[in-house]
Amino acid sequence: MILSVSYYRNPDVYDIRWLLAALDVSVFLSFYAVIGRRVGHFLVSMKLALTLLFVLAILSVIGTILPQGENVLDSGWVNNPLYDFYRHLGLFEMYHSRWYLAILLLLTFNLVVCVYHRLPTAVKHVLRPRVDVKDIFVSSQPLSATIEGNGEQALGVAREVLSSHHYRILQGETGSVLAEKGRFSGIFSLAFHLSFLIIGLGAIIISFTGFDQRLQIPDGTTAAVKGTDLTVTNHGFTLSTEPVYEGDRIVGYRPSRYASDLEVFENGESVARKTIEVNDPLRYKGVNFHQASYYRTSRGYVTVLSVNKAPGKSLVYIGFVAAMAGIVFGLYFPHRRIWLKVYEKGRLLMGGRTNRAKVTFQRDFDRAVAEVRMRLGQEASADGSTR
């Protein structure tokens, strides 16, 4: 007896939804352009991004409250007179609905435009940092300090101090000096944003070329994997349980381990055999057989397998790595810059700014300034004693 059910992600419907979503986005944007606004400016705006994040969050909340997919068939919603209307709105397939996809598409546009917009600055921070600046630029930074005395000597000391604080020192042509840290912060932040494009691309490839089906196979029977030449035989399902205690009383039992002894055939020829468990699937030619669940009938146990193939998965994993590295380095190592310049009266001007964590930077800055002053004081007194 062959029993196979595939309910999950019907590819035919899926393709059309993407098209519909794309249509929605283009209609929305053309409408926006027609009423006389500049689409490019709108697409790059942070307000749009935040609105989209917000709408996405709201749609997701609705998705968790309403029954999704096959679950709706067991719920009272089926009897609702407006059931068909809701279904067509996509409320019961929220995450695959055209609206959801349209928001994702729009967000992707926004992301791409923003990244494109910010890329030159981020690259410039790394390749051509702004070293030559005017006095007024230095003193009008969010943090600034003036060090009295011999400007050139103070500049030398400040360079030493900042370099001992792990700042990279750059000498400008007009006498100003830039000390900076974390200049890759912007690049990492962009890498983080781009990683979602990679993950999204991987997801799209998977949804177009891969499959994900559920096979329910009673003991000793065989099922075919749709869209391949594979069949799989369940040689036996085993279940062990352990008691659930409440105090010393046993109130029930719960499964502690379950496994299926599977054999995979390709064109009728046995190619693999393994006893699979929840965290230990059988893999063959990119097709994975996972132990998903089980249920019991009058004739015995039926194992539920999740069989899938996802050719774009490596892309998704690359995206994952980029996202983790990007966010960690982007947020934990902020870009800090301190400009040094000798002012005409012979004083040293110091001005600093950062893109994140301002109070912490202020503390760093104060410490550096205090250290410079201290060392200068010591040197001055040392000079005094030799004279």
Partner 1 sequence: MHLAVLGINHKSAPVELREKVSLNDERCGSLSEHLLAEAPITEVVPLSTCNRTEIYLVASRPEAGRREALASLARTAGIDPAELEACAYFHEGESAVYHLYRVAASLDSLVVGEAQILGQIKEAYHQAHAREDTSVLLNRLFRNAIEVGKRVRTDTRIGENPVSVSSVAVDLVKRVYDDLEGHTALLLGAGKMSELTATHLIANGISSVLVSNRTLARAREMAARFDGTPVPFEQLGDYLALADVVVCSTGAPHYVIRKGEVERAMRRRHNKPIFFIDIAVPRDIDPGVNDVYNAFLYDIDDLNEVAAANAAEREKEARKAEKIIQDEVKEFSRWVSSLEAVPTITELRRMAEEIKQGELEKARRKLDGLSDKEMQRVEAMASAIVNKLMHAPTVELKKAADERGGYMYVESLRRLFGLNGRSRREEDGRRSDG
Partner 2 sequence: MEALVRTEEILFIAAVISYLVCSGLFIWYLISRNQAAGRLGMVLLVMGWLAHTAALALRWQTSGHAPMANLYASLSLFGWGIVLFFLITDRFYPVKVAGAMVVPVAFIITSVAGVFYEGPQELMPALQSYWLWIHVTIAMLSYGLFALAFGAGFIYIIQEYLLKKQYQNVILGFVFLFVALGLVIGLWLGSWWAEPARVADELGRVDKIYAGEDILKMVIGSIIGLAVGLILGYAAGKGAARPSFSKRLPSLDVLDEVSYRAVAFGFPMLTIGIITGSIWADQAWGSWWSWDPKETWSLITWLYYGAYLHTRLTMGWRGRHSALLAVIGLVVVLFTYLGVNLLLPGLHSYTPT
Which positions lie near partner 1, rule CB under 8 A?
Answer: 139-140, 142-146, 359, 362-363, 365-366, 369
One-letter amino acid identity for 347?
Answer: R
Cα separation, 4 vs 381, in Å, equals 89
From the list partner 1, partner 2, none, pick the one residue 297 interacts with, judged by a Cβ distance below 5 to 8 Å according to partner type: none
Q: How far is the CB of 174 from partner 1 (least distance, A)?
A: 23
Percent of the chain that is helix, strand, coil (3-state, to 5) = 50, 30, 20
Under the rule (CB under 8 A), what is the footprint of partner 2? 46, 49-50, 53-54, 56-57, 60-61, 63-65, 68, 95, 203, 212, 241-242, 244, 246, 251-258, 277-279, 281, 288-292, 296, 306-308, 310, 313, 316-317, 320, 323-324, 327-328, 331-332, 355-360
From the list partner 1, partner 2, none, pick the one residue 145 interacts with, judged by a Cβ distance below 5 to 8 Å according to partner type: partner 1
- The residue with tokens 């064109």 is 267
Choice between 138 and 199, CB closer to partner 1: 138
Choice between 67 and 149, CB closer to partner 1: 149
From the list partner 2, partner 1, none, pick the one residue 324 interacts with, judged by a Cβ distance below 5 to 8 Å according to partner type: partner 2
Residue 133 host element (H or E): none
Contact yes or no for 301/219 (Cβ under 8 A): yes
DSSP string, 324-386: HHHHHHHHHS--EEEEEEE-TTSPEEEEEEESS-HHHHHHHHHHHHHHHHHHHHHHHHHHHHH
Choice between 31 and 245, CB closer to partner 2: 245
Instruction: Output the CA–CA distances (angstroms, integers) from residue 163 to 195, 221, 230, 332, in the order listed.
Output: 33, 72, 64, 20
Instruction: Output the CA–CA distances (angstroms, integers) from residue 286 to 115, 208, 211, 223, in the order listed.
Output: 34, 15, 11, 18
From the list partner 2, partner 1, none, pick the one residue 251 interacts with, judged by a Cβ distance below 5 to 8 Å according to partner type: partner 2
From the list partner 1, partner 2, none, pick the one residue 108 interacts with, judged by a Cβ distance below 5 to 8 Å according to partner type: none
Choice between 347 and 358, CB closer to partner 2: 358
Cα separation, 368 vs 331, in Å, equals 23
Choice between 119 and 169, CB closer to partner 2: 119
Q: Nearest 5°: phi and psi at 38?
A: -90, 115
Choice between 200 and 352, CB closer to partner 1: 352
CA quadruple 20, 24, 27, 29: dihedral sign: negative
From the list partner 1, partner 2, none, pick the one residue 144 interacts with, judged by a Cβ distance below 5 to 8 Å according to partner type: partner 1
Q: How far is the CB of 242 from partner 2 (least distance, A)?
A: 6
Q: How far is the CB of 131 from partner 1 (least distance, A)?
A: 22
